[in-house]
Amino acid sequence: MGKNITRKIIEKHLLGGEMTPGSEIDLKIDQTLTQDATGTMAYLQFEAIGLDRVKTDLSVSYVDHNTLQMGFRNPDDHRYLRTVAERYGVVFSPPGTGICHQLHLENFAKPGATLIGSDSHTPTAGGIGSLAMGAGGLSVALAMAGEAYSIPMPKVVKVNLTGRLQGWAAAKDVILHLLGMLTVKGGVGKVFEYGGPGVETLTVPERATITNMGAELGATTSIFPSDEQTKRFMAQMGRPEDFVELLPDADAEYDEIVNIDLSALEPLVAQPHMPDLVVPVRELAGLRIDQCAIGSCTNSSYADLKTTARILEGKRVPASTDLLISPGSKQVVKMLAAENLLEPLLDAGARLLECTCGPCIGMGGSPTSEGVSVRTFNRNFEGRSGTQDAKIYLASPETAARLALDGEFTDPATWGERPERVELPDSVPSIRDLFVFPPKDGSGVEVLRGPNIVALERFEELPQTVEAKVLLKVEDNITTDHILPAGPQITALRSNIPAISEYIFSRVDKEFVGRMKEAGKGVILGGENYGQGSSREHAALGPRHLGVKAVVTKSLARIHRANLINFGILPLLLVNQDDYGKLEQGTGLTIPASKLQPGQPVNMITDSGESIPVTNDLTEKELRIIQSGGLLNAVRDRQS
């Protein structure tokens, strides 16, 4: 049987398990990345393990999420991240240098390498053939400690691309089209591997846009071949030595095949409040637009912003529409400046923001009340923009720039000629000197901690029997933004679990934290795809701190499921989904935790005496982790 790219990389990094879809496998991890919203906790966890140095080939700490330095909390955390990186052998990227995924793609990602990052859009590096996966911060900390990363062996789906993008269609429309086909649950347990003759027509930045938003499918990751396009990109980035050709065998086999004709695609947009509510842009013609935002880790490359500048050149955005632009890195800014491409952006009325995630996670740039915002970002969850009643649409930079000029949705047939597609120049300025590389020996470095940095508590083991009430019942597609909102006020508390826990479900049910504190323990009842979205482990850590013992759902998103396990919260699945309707907030439950077996059902008993069967998809190792009170406890126990 011929091998696909995914199986080749996994086979090379396999430390344990069988490569059968659904079976647990253990992988050696070559690289890790963190960002500041999740990184502080990841490094506190790494310190708790007690090692003197990271054991990966490369680990990088990026500061790109909450760079608003209002008060001491963020500056203190950034100082902690810099000094802890020097102490333990991690490369540090200071605030404002750029967005972690754009920077990693430009400077560090390698074809054929394994990478996990404490950010769900880590699969961006799949654009150059890296097996890159989002993970919780504790999983990243353990990978830095040399521990294997465990996942279910994914199915591999070939996305067979034919044709070539035409007219105003862009790479963003490829992934929007796929989301419209498969939904936000369509990629669970799968890797999307892109192939076919259409692949060679896509540049690495275009490929990275597609792999970045594969996270919205719920996929384990997405990956492109490492081919001539990759070779050219690596040379342009000044690191040709990192190129390795990585192609599927001619007779490679796949678990599924999806066909997409690039020539047939048209400009698309995802409607509020899910990335899979996709329609053609033309269908919304006439809808007024209050704001457009171009950037984020999905669409902030040199090619994206040069195209934007060409569209805006000599024109003016109407005063009724705000236009925000967030470059992905200082390298991108330098390239635009060298070609006098910043001036067209500014003259058009755009606001040029810092090289950070910014408005994508509600860090400034929020729309007006009930405002319509067209964004080139990857998520449009309710309230994520910082304005609870805003209506967020997701589109390509080409579409966002054109709509900004019109101040409303218009039919692409009226847009005229699209600017010529952008290629990277042969000579690209390096910004590698802006990174802080660690000393060979960091033993003498003092790690500086501010008063907002609170050591992680040690959680108790799982009791033999869990007796607790359902203290919150939520619907389908609850995101980690629902569980723990982003934004500057809350994210500034990322290294203080007791403080950040006060905001758990604050935009869903303001009384939840109070009920948890009064009861001391509780269960959350969820619907389908509970926990989709960001990898932020605080959405598991916060509930654990408050006393959540179990989450009972119809189904769980991959990374959040892993985070629940990592912190000792029992993830249970309803055997009969109709039982969801029988359970209400306030229902008392008795869960026989001591009788749990991997993959086997048990009966919960309600306070009225009704028996509700639940099951789990846990492996023996995962069940032991939960019984220990979480992964950190399990590792400590193993090392003692």
Which residues participate in catalysis according to the annotation? 64-65, 119, 379, 534, 536
Q: How far apart are CA 121 and CA 132, in angstroms?
A: 9
Phi, psi at 257, each rounded to 5°: -135, 130
Specify the length of the chain in residues: 640
Pairing of strands 588-591, 602-606: antiparallel
DSSP letter for 121, please. Answer: T
Q: Who contacts 127 (Cβ-Cβ below 8 Å, separation ≥6)?
A: 105, 204, 205, 206, 207, 208, 209, 210, 211, 212, 224
DSSP per residue over 166-229, as a string? -TT--HHHHHHHHHHHH-TTTTBTEEEEEESGGGGGS-HHHHHHHHHGGGGGTBSEEE--BSHH
Q: First CA to last CA across the chain, in angstroms?
A: 44
Q: How far apart are CA 602 and CA 571, in angstroms?
A: 13
Would you say 158 and 256 are in contact if contact means Cβ atoms under 8 Å apart? yes
Would you say 91 and 61 are in contact if contact means Cβ atoms under 8 Å apart? yes
Q: How far apart are CA 132 and CA 137, in angstroms?
A: 15
In single-letter form, the type of residue at position 97 comes to T
**Structure-block tokens of residue 516:** 């948890």
Report CA 132 to chain centroid distance, whole Å: 11
Would you say 267 and 168 are in contact if contact means Cβ atoms under 8 Å apart? yes
**Best CA proximity match to 176, nearest among 492, 399, 487, 501:** 399
What is the helix (H) or strand (E) element at residue 160, kind and residue range? strand 155-162
Where are the strands (E) in 368-430, listed by range?
A: 372-375, 391-394
Q: How far apart are CA 419 and CA 204, in angstroms?
A: 19
- The SS3 of residue 269 is strand
Would you say 123 and 211 are in contact if contact means Cβ atoms under 8 Å apart? yes
Pairing of strands 522-525, 372-375: unpaired
Would you say 210 and 124 are in contact if contact means Cβ atoms under 8 Å apart? no
How deeply is 419 buried, as exposed, middle or buried, from its count of CB atoms within 10 A (0-12, 13-18, 19+)?
A: middle
Q: How far apart are CA 275 and CA 265, in angstroms?
A: 17
